[in-house]
Chain A
Amino acid sequence: MLEGSDRTREGAARTRGSARPRPAGRRPAARPAAAEVEPAARPGEAKGEPEPVARLAHRHLLGMLGVTAGEITLILDTAKSLAEVSTRAIKKVPALRGKTIVNFFMEPSTRTRSSFEIAEKRLSADTLNFSPSTSSVVKGESLLDTARNLEAMTPDMIVIRHKASGAPHFLARHCRSNIINAGDGAHEHPTQALLDAFTIREKKGRLAGLRVAIVGDLMHSRVFRSNAFLLKTMGADVIACGPPTLLPPELPRLGMQVTYRMDEAVEGADVIMMLRVQRERQRGGAFPTAREYYNLFGLTSERVRRARSDVIIMHPGPMNRGVEIDSAVADGPYSVILDQVTNGVAVRMAVLYLLAGGTLGELAG
């Protein structure tokens, strides 16, 4: 049934979207040609990588919008060095000894919160976890009051996840601590984008010039927004794909290619980033059934074959197997989904470390 639908779409082969620069070469032709171009392109790319700056310009990490290529390189380079700590027998260094970090998670999260917590502990910080069930928020306390009370206990950093877009920015205006956005509503999730970039760079050696297909519910995805800003800053080509009901209308204005056809999106891709269908954020029927979504936008082995032979497949988790991604692909040889989780710790260590180091200079300046 799936193949049937695939063939129909292929057969349809309408005139392609004007945004697509590649020649409309079909599967067998496109791949070897791309492979030949690659070796020549790489050394130049390596030299073209932006130089890391000495320090981050801001004392908070609220989003990827406005973070420069030099800063991104600084974070990724630092993360690369910090990854070594997690390979030791004693997985701990004293860099953030005596720092107190509050993990203020107002939305359910396993991966991100445990990743931050492990990162904090490996840097020897003292951590405090704050979640809706244990906080006074359920008793009707406002975000500002909660934040003021937290601040009164003089933490050094607050890692916040909140269902409202802009909550970290609000906190940043009212708190002395460094604020790290761990996901705010449908706005941004900067550390996810950084760990995705780290993973891509680890596997591909670079970010610039890569063709990255991002597929799924882009409308509600903070992971998409942060990734789009970061990838654009680093010079990658982003192809956005999803059902029209779940694509933000302003994408072309951000210099992104947009397609509603999955096969077109993954064609020749270096990276395929699948995003979760966020049922909890969608109002009403953005698409009829999960089965139809899978048929049109699910990542199957057949579709993976359209991408580059060295494609990597990413997913920020948690996965809906059989909705946006087939199990065989999620657990297959191209999947780097678990590398993303591993790298998340190193990247978050780097962000914490760099923000801690910048504290005094920022306050003095």
Chain B
Amino acid sequence: MPAPQPLCVMDADKIDRALTRIAHEILERHRDVEDLVLVGIRTRGVPLANRMQDKIRSIENRDIPVGILDITLYRDDLTTVGPHAVLKETKIHFPIDDKKIILVDDVLFTGRTIRAALDGLMDFGRPRLIQLAVLVDRGHRELPIRADFVGKNVSTSLKEMVQVLLREEDGKDEVLIIQKPEARTSGKSRDRSAARAAR
């Protein structure tokens, strides 16, 4: 079947520059990195958080801890979305009480993932503040949530999907906009409202 050509909106260089800029912005806002921690949301928030840790290390010569959060158990659509991703472990091996948390994800879309992540973090303690860093903000929020650090704003339609490929997971760095195939929902789809409508 002739799928429309995916549109590349960020290549490896652009992704790297955006992460460098975000790292600088984080340090600009948080002069004191003492209580700063990064928490990556599975799956692709994790390599992004690791890369930000590297950037901050090379700028500031300080290692800040990175945690991993799986939000599957906090989703609001357990019984409405069909096959769900296999649950992976959450690994936050440091206390988050009174810490400044930078939550890291690849794409900010409806905001429901972030809502779930906030709920998840609260179960681990009471952080001083939580800020959100994303590589791509594609709009179409369904909840009052915004990002504090954004790699790139991309305007999209609901018929499109934004796919972030990272070399740690996918072998290469690229952000693509893909026309959604008709009707059948794909496992990679981030568009849950449309997935629900299709049912």
Contact mask for chain A residues 49-92; partner B; CB cutoff 8 A; 1 contact, 0 none: 00010110000000000000000001001101110110011101
CB-CB under 8 A for A360 and B79, given A78-B86, A82-B87: yes
B181 near A: Cβ within 8 Å? Answer: no
CB distance B124 to A89 under 8 Å?
Answer: yes
Nearest CB of A to B98, in Å: 14
A153 near B: Cβ within 8 Å? Answer: no
- Chain B residues with Cβ below 8 Å from A82 are 73, 87
CB distance B90 to A356 under 8 Å?
Answer: no
A229 near B: Cβ within 8 Å? Answer: no
A361 near B: Cβ within 8 Å? Answer: yes
B144 near A: Cβ within 8 Å? Answer: no
Bound complex: CA A357 to CA B75 (Å) = 11
CB-CB under 8 A for A52 and B123, given A94-B74, A95-B78: no
Using CB atoms, name the residue of chain B closest to A93.
B73
B119 near A: Cβ within 8 Å? Answer: yes
A335 near B: Cβ within 8 Å? Answer: no
- Chain B residues with Cβ below 8 Å from A78 are 86-87
Bound complex: CA A88 to CA B120 (Å) = 11
Nearest CB of A to B97, in Å: 10
- Chain B residues with Cβ below 8 Å from A85 are 73
A364 near B: Cβ within 8 Å? Answer: yes
Nearest CB of B to A348, in Å: 14
CB-CB under 8 A for A95 and B74, given A81-B87, A81-B88: yes
Q: From A77, A80, A90, A353, give the contact of B123 (CB < 8 A).
A: A90
CB distance B86 to A52 under 8 Å?
Answer: yes
CB distance B125 to A359 under 8 Å?
Answer: no
- Chain B residues with Cβ below 8 Å from A95 are 72-75, 78
CB distance B74 to A88 under 8 Å?
Answer: no
CB-CB under 8 A for A359 and B124, given A81-B70, A94-B73, A95-B73: no
Using CB atoms, name the residue of chain B closest to A359.
B79
Q: How many residues of B contact A (CB 8 A)?
A: 23
- Chain A residues with Cβ below 8 Å from B2 are none
Q: From A77, A90, A356, give the contact of B78 (CB < 8 A).
A: A356
Residues of chain A from 117 to 134 with CB closer than 8 A to chain B in the complex: 123
Residues of chain A from 333 to 364 with CB closer than 8 A to chain B in the complex: 353, 356-357, 359-361, 364
CB distance A54 to B83 under 8 Å?
Answer: yes
Nearest CB of B to A77, in Å: 6
- Chain B residues with Cβ below 8 Å from A353 are 73, 87
CB-CB under 8 A for A88 and B123, given A74-B86, A77-B86, A81-B89: yes
- Chain A residues with Cβ below 8 Å from B74 are 93-95
- Chain A residues with Cβ below 8 Å from B119 are 94
Residues of chain B from 68 to 95 with CB closer than 8 A to chain A in the complex: 70, 72-75, 78-80, 82-84, 86-91
- Chain B residues with Cβ below 8 Å from A361 are 82-83
CB distance B83 to A92 under 8 Å?
Answer: no
Bound complex: CA A77 to CA B87 (Å) = 8
B199 near A: Cβ within 8 Å? Answer: yes
CB distance B90 to A84 under 8 Å?
Answer: yes
Contact mask for chain B residues 144-164; partner A; CB cutoff 8 A; 1 contact, 0 none: 000000000000000000000
Bound complex: CA A54 to CA B74 (Å) = 19
Bound complex: CA A353 to CA B73 (Å) = 9
- Chain B residues with Cβ below 8 Å from A81 are 70, 86-90
Residues of chain B from 59 to 73 with CB closer than 8 A to chain A in the complex: 70, 72-73
Bound complex: CA A51 to CA B78 (Å) = 22
Contact mask for chain A residues 91-104; partner B; CB cutoff 8 A; 1 contact, 0 none: 01111100000000
Residues of chain A from 20 to 68 with CB closer than 8 A to chain B in the complex: 52, 54-55
Using CB atoms, name the residue of chain A closest to B87.
A81
CB-CB under 8 A for A90 and B124, given A77-B86, A364-B199: yes
CB distance B89 to A84 under 8 Å?
Answer: yes
- Chain A residues with Cβ below 8 Å from B78 are 95-96, 356-357
Q: From A74, A77, A88, A360, give the contact of B80 (CB < 8 A).
A: A360
- Chain A residues with Cβ below 8 Å from B125 are 89
Q: From B70, B79, B91, B120, give the contact of A357 (CB < 8 A).
A: B79
- Chain B residues with Cβ below 8 Å from A357 are 78-79, 84
Bound complex: CA A359 to CA B73 (Å) = 16
Nearest CB of B to A95, in Å: 4
Instruction: List 20 A-B pairs, Cβ < 8 Å.
Output: A54-B86, A55-B82, A55-B84, A74-B86, A77-B86, A81-B89, A88-B123, A90-B124, A92-B123, A93-B120, A94-B119, A95-B72, A95-B73, A95-B74, A95-B78, A96-B78, A123-B73, A357-B84, A359-B79, A361-B82
In the complex, the 10 A-B pairs of residues with the closest C-beta atoms, listed nearest first: A93-B73, A95-B73, A54-B83, A81-B87, A81-B89, A90-B123, A361-B82, A78-B87, A84-B89, A360-B79
Q: A55-B82, A353-B73 are in contact. List 4 more A-B contacts (CB 8 A).
A: A81-B70, A81-B88, A356-B79, A360-B80
